Amino acid sequence: MSAIRLLVLGAVRQHGRAHGYQVRGDLEYWGAHEWSNAKPGSIYHALKQMAKQGLLHAHEVAQSTAGGPPRTEYEITDRGTEEYFRLLREALTSYDQKTDVKSSAIGFMVDLPRAEAVSLLKERIRRIERWRSSVTEHYVPEDGPEQLGHIGEIMNLWIHTADAELAWIQGLIGRIEGGAYTFAGEGEPFVGVLAADQENPYATGERHPEDDR
């Protein structure tokens, strides 16, 4: 799956309505430009594509600061909300060792009820363990990577990465079950978005033609 769709839908949903530059600012504030493909061009492209697909509704609001066409604000639709939660649930349970989808899912997991988030994370554990077993059919960790020549180091990396994530998820589940964080239906949620007049300390400084729209 593409992390950019989940990130953009989640960012727009948190604002209620947001223009492209706000979405970009939020994703940079979360560091998503470092661990995903959430670059300016990809963000604006995703906004336009998902508007065409009916996942977002595009509102033309005010003249742009550059004097060009009206600025476009985006609002998530009912269909977009369904897609957002589908992507979120899939991202919490799927395992392919990629950081972008996993990080996106953790960033938005509090949009789900607490019990559901725990259930999805436990399913992720089952899938990682199943994936790990498929690797160890061909590679015996106890025998070391040398058994397959230097290529064994790749499987050694896979196993170490899977084991580290398993330990981390167990800890995360423990924290969630212990009452950490505010999940859906529990009260005022934590919203990590920039205020309209707040300077983004993590902005890349890279301009994009649509930043002023």
pLDDT score of 1: 72
- Complete domains list, the chain, with CATH: 1-83+191-205 (1.10.10.10)
What pTM value is reported for the model?
A: 0.83
State the DSSP H helix or E strand holding residue 50, giving kind and residue range, or none if neither.
helix 40-52
pLDDT score of 93: 95
User: In DSSP terms, which residues pair with 60 in a beta bridge?
Assistant: 72
Residue 191 burial (10 A CB sphere; 0-12, 13-18, 19+): exposed
- Taking only the tens of pLDDT, the chain with its 213 residues reads 778 999 999 999 988 888 888 898 888 888 887 778 788 888 999 999 999 999 999 997 766 555 566 778 999 999 999 999 999 999 999 987 678 899 999 999 999 999 999 999 999 999 999 999 998 888 888 888 887 778 888 888 989 999 999 999 999 999 999 999 999 999 887 766 656 666 665 555 555 555 545
How many angstroms separate the Cα of 38 from the Cα of each of 3, 4, 6, 144, 165?
Answer: 8, 6, 11, 37, 23
